[in-house]
Chains A and B, each alone.
Chain A
Amino acid sequence: MTATRILIADDEPSLVAVLQPVLSAAGYEVAAVADGKGAVAFILSHDLDVVLLDLGLPDIDGKEVIRRVREHVATPIIVISARHLEAEKIAALDEGADDYVNKPFEIGELMARIRAATRRRGTTTAPMAFYRAGPLAIDFPARRVLYDGETIKLSPKEWELLQVLARSAGQVVTHKRLLAAGWGVETTETQYLRVYIGLLRQKIEEDPSDPRLLLTEPGVGYRLSAAE
């Protein structure tokens, strides 16, 4: 098996100088580009496993980079962005980014995002059959959800939502995508979504008021913990 290949698209040399050796030490094969056009060219000409994309590149907007490469390839893209720029993050996710990391980040958080992205890439060819995290287990072909080994009953909507979250386990799923999955329309009010997330938490969380599996990403969406 070949090493996982990562491209860092960031114009901040000090950040690249830290990430490159750390990611290499973690066993990844790392390349770096410092502008948007270079990033597009590199992504289209290489078979990459993950792209770490800074949204504030000097030449073209990060969202534009995503738009240009998404027409051709499905390479997982993790956006690196400042915490207060929700609208930017959501727009990038809508353009086809897979996840985001807030700047500044701790390396553990970044590694978890990279793992989630590569795991998901692995399942695009063969659909994920099983998910397990803590007491929760999902058997996709059988459409069965188990909590502590016991089958739990989910309504069709709850199942749709959980399935979308689990297939992107470890990654953020935007309100918009969840609404589209559960209701088929993107315009439905997020309050419906909140209610169903609440119902799901009742069934899959040990303490629904202090969730450990189904986490809120304020203003953006929800994230189901990565499979163990």
Chain B
Amino acid sequence: MKRPMLDRGRLAIGDMRLRITLRELMTTAGIVGASSAAAFLVKPMNGEASEALIFVLGIMLCGAFEGLTAALIAAIAGFLIYNFYFAEPVLAFRLARGSDIAPLLVFNLCAVISGVLAGRLKDSVQAANRKNEALSRLLEMSQALQSAVRLGDVAAALRATPSARSGVSLHLFSIKNGRLQPLMDGAAQPEWQAMAERSLQSVDPIRCEDGLTAHRLDGSDGPLGVFVFKADAVTRLEPPFMAALANLFTLAMERATLSEMIEDVRALAKTEELKTALLSSVSHDFRTPLTAISASASSLIDYREQLDRDVSLRLLQGIVDDCERLNRYTANLLEMSRLEAGALPTNLQKIDVIEMLVAVMQRVRPRLNERRMTRLFTGTDIVVLADASLFELVLVNVLDNAILYSERKSCIHIEVEDDGGYCRITIADEGRGIPDEDLERVFDRFHRVARTEPSPLGSGLGLAIAKAFVGALGGSIAAMTPGIGLAGTRIVICLPLVKEDRPQ
């Protein structure tokens, strides 16, 4: 910015155009008028010189306040008035002698000097303002960049870009799949994109061409992107400042890339964890019934003659029961992987909760084994929006748990009520219950309550699926103790109701 003054002066004159607004013209007329009036006032007291000085003052003021054009107009007007009213002979124009022309020259010289000086001052103030604005926007951006963690944050910081009005425009390109892509909304102009491409190829990380400057953003593992900007002559930006900004971009983008990688690694670890859990579940929960089936079936083949009819029947019934168990595990695993994959329930339909519960109760009835089911259904037309087979599976899971963890001849109580906006389904049993510390964790995948007494083992999936299902529908599920009386478990499911008009 250390340019010779002369150069800047010439530049300033070159930049100035002779334009004037109505407001400036009015001010000029006012000042010229006031100067004339003042000259008339001093005329009786002094000679021509002081009158001329008053006009010079007026012209200077016009130049200072309104610029070169106004000063020149004021100079012409002032000269005409001065020549006509004040210079001898009064009330006549005369341009015969040198002393007649002198005021014209002096006035115009004053006008040019004051106008140019004032104009330059004004321009530099304006330029300083624009530069200030650009700098403060860039600083804002750099602050935002320092806290950016994702590529999205970097893009958001870019939205605080200095406007074109402040003389700076910039674009950031990131490298995605080996290709440069503009990080900001909307496609970049082709010459910007081309500039970025060239910068990627060039040896020097900084490249200036046709008013565009490109900074290649080199991360530790090669280029991350390119930062291209254009600043006009007035808002010239210090190269070190822009280099610092480019550095910030590099850091922010590197951070974003790294954090994305960490997320990927975490997701992978989570998938691995799920896979391991699934495998252990499959090996345990599937092998147990399979072992029983295999033992029963092979016994029936090998000892057909020795086994009496009752034992044979019992073995056969065991095979059928274990098949049903395997079937439920399979269904649970399938639904779990669907829910884990984040698939939203697509098959939603209006389902009458009571109708569904009745169907489910009929389905589990063969497994009740002398347990009783009691129920209290209050309200009619309790309708929810759900996936029918998933809803059925969830209810079967909860009821199966109630059966699995309770004694024969005990009671399982099922309640449905309309709770305003929600339908509340309660399934309570008199079984062994859940320790307080496990009440929340029973909904975790593969979580099994550690028990001292021998107890049957479920797949550890049933309640996790129930929770995922209920969550996807905007409802809730909770486990509480006790269930009935002082013993057992109570599972409460709340689902949002679908309001319907009762048909006529």
State whether A216 and B331 are in contact (beta carbons under 8 Å apart), knowing that A86-B347, A190-B350, A209-B377 are contacts in the complex: no
Chain B residue contacts of A209, Cβ below 8 A: 354, 358, 375, 377
Report A-chain residues with C-beta under 8 Å of the C-beta of B323: 104
Nearest chain A CB to B429 CB, angstrom units: 19
B331: A residues at CB distance < 8 A = 83-84
Q: Is the CB of A195 within 8 A of B502?
A: yes
Q: Are B351 and A195 neighbours in the complex by a CB distance under 8 Å? A: no
Residues 59-94 of A contacting B (Cβ, < 8 Å): 83-87
B388 within 8 A of A: yes
Partner of B500, one of A84, A85, A191, A219: A191
- Cβ of A83 and Cβ of B389 under 8 Å apart? yes
Query: Chain A CB within 10 Å — which of B323, B362, B391 has the most?
Result: B362
Number of A-B contacts (CB under 8 A): 66
B354-401 CB contacts (< 8 Å) to partner A: 354-356, 358-362, 375, 377, 380-381, 383, 387-393
Interface residues of B in 413-439 (CB under 8 A from A): none
* Contact between chains at A104 and B347 (CB < 8 Å): no
Q: Which residues of A contact B334 (CB under 8 A)?
A: 84
Question: A192-B503, A194-B352 in contact; A216/B347 too (CB < 8 A)?
Answer: no
Name which residue of chain B comes closest to A198, CB basis.
B380
**Contacts A83-B331, A86-B347, A195-B502: A219 and B389 contacting too (C-beta < 8 A)?**
yes
Does B335 sit within 8 A of A, measured CB to CB?
Answer: yes
Q: Is B327 an interface residue (CB 8 A)?
A: yes
Q: Is the CB of B356 within 8 A of A84?
A: no
Q: B502 — nearest CB in chain A belongs to which residue?
A: A195
**Cβ of A218 under 8 Å from chain B:** yes
- In the complex, how many residues of chain B place their beta carbon closer than 8 angstroms to a beta carbon of chain A? 34
Residues in A neighbouring B335, C-beta threshold 8 A: 84
Closest Cβ of chain B: how far from A29's Cβ, in Å? 27
A86/B389 contact (C-beta < 8 A), A211-B358, A218-B356 known:
yes
A210 and B358 contact, CB distance less than 8 A = yes
Chain B: minimal CB distance from A70 (Å): 25
- CB neighbours (8 Å) of A198 from chain B are 380
Q: Chain A interface residue count: which class?
A: 20 to 34
Are A191 and B350 closer than 8 Å at their CB atoms?
A: yes
| Interface assignment of A106: CB less than 8 Å from any CB of chain B | yes
Looking at the assembled complex, report how far the CB atom of B34 sits from the nearest CB atom of chain A, in whole angstroms. Answer: 86
- In A73-123, the 8 Å CB interface with B consists of 83-87, 104, 106
Given A191-B503, A219-B387: 16 more A-B contacts, CB < 8 Å: A84-B334, A104-B323, A191-B383, A194-B352, A194-B355, A195-B381, A210-B362, A216-B356, A216-B358, A218-B356, A218-B359, A218-B389, A219-B347, A219-B388, A219-B389, A219-B392
Interface positions of A (Cβ within 8 A of B)? 83-87, 104, 106, 189-192, 194-195, 198, 209-211, 215-220
Residues of B within 8 A of A (CB): 320, 323, 327, 331, 334-335, 347, 349-352, 354-356, 358-362, 375, 377, 380-381, 383, 387-393, 500, 502-503
Closest 10 CB pairs of A and B: A219-B388, A84-B389, A216-B359, A192-B503, A218-B388, A216-B355, A191-B500, A218-B392, A194-B352, A218-B359
